Amino acid sequence: MTSRITARTGVCCVFGDPVKHSFSPKLHNKAFTKAGLDYAYVAFTANEATIGDAMQAVRTLGIRGCSLTMPNKIACLPHFDRIDPTAQLIGAANTIVNDDGVLTGYNTDGYGMLKAFEDMGVAIAGNKMVLLGLGGAGAAVAITAAMDHQLGELAVFNRKGGKSWGHAEETVALINERSACKAHLYDLNDLELLRKEMATAQMLANTTNVGMADLEGQSVVPDSSFFPEGMAVQDAIYAPSETKLLSLAKEAGCQVANGLAMLFYQGAKQFELWTGQEMPLTVADLEMD
């Protein structure tokens, strides 16, 4: 973004409700400035009732690209002209790209977590991941890993009988049908099975909300003995910066990353889709703020 907004300044934005807490304007405006691009990124309130009108405004006003956060990632789907195949399989989109009035939906959430694992020196292709939770973020990670990164094996742990169990069953079946990844669904309450599956996995990802807000100080994995030494462990939570899960994993000698890296890389992919350029920032640039 230039020092002064002009009549030529391009616009990108985020749609959410609530949206005032969004991390995206800080990330993208800093990136536009560093890249020398004449763009500005702003936040707009939109929800299930208004997202259709908001997306029509993107066409009308020529807004180049948008981020979609809750509650719009599913509600947006009927309003796209095109949807990327991975986003279609996930059943949610977090990114809009506007090409002369044609809106295409993408989902970069899964890419964000997988790129963070690669930063930790872990190969996704052919390896095994234990995934805790298969809600919206979990489905994005699972499907992107299987479809786009050739994950070898996936052990999903979800609470049996919970509201997302049926969706988890469908997602696991879809992965087995559409990819070479061997996916299995297990009950999150079966700790003996969790220990067994973790013992042969190179990665563990938590996409549940256990560890934040009212559940801060709690962990789905009960103690450090579950973690094999050297495992790469990532938590989608970034506040607090070190959850109980990550603390236990560090105690066991694992590599760990919180949700800041995932958040950064999903935004970096959005930046690339909008501008055709690589993100000029690094995770370290955000950690210094």
Reported as type and span, the H/E element at residue 11 is strand 10-16
The whole-angstrom separation of Cα 128 and Cα 90 is 20
Q: What is the DSSP string of 248-270?
A: HHHHTT-EEE-HHHHHHHHHHHH
DSSP 16-57: ESS-TT-SHHHHHHHHHHHHT--EEEEEEE--TTTHHHHHHH
Q: How buried is residue 169: exposed, middle or buried, by Cβ count under 10 Å (0-12/13-18/19+)?
A: middle
73 is catalytic: yes
Type and span of the H or E element at 73 = helix 72-75
Q: Choose the catalytic residue: 30, 73, 160, 250.
A: 73
Torsion over CA: 171, 161, 205, 275 (sign): positive
Active site residues: 73
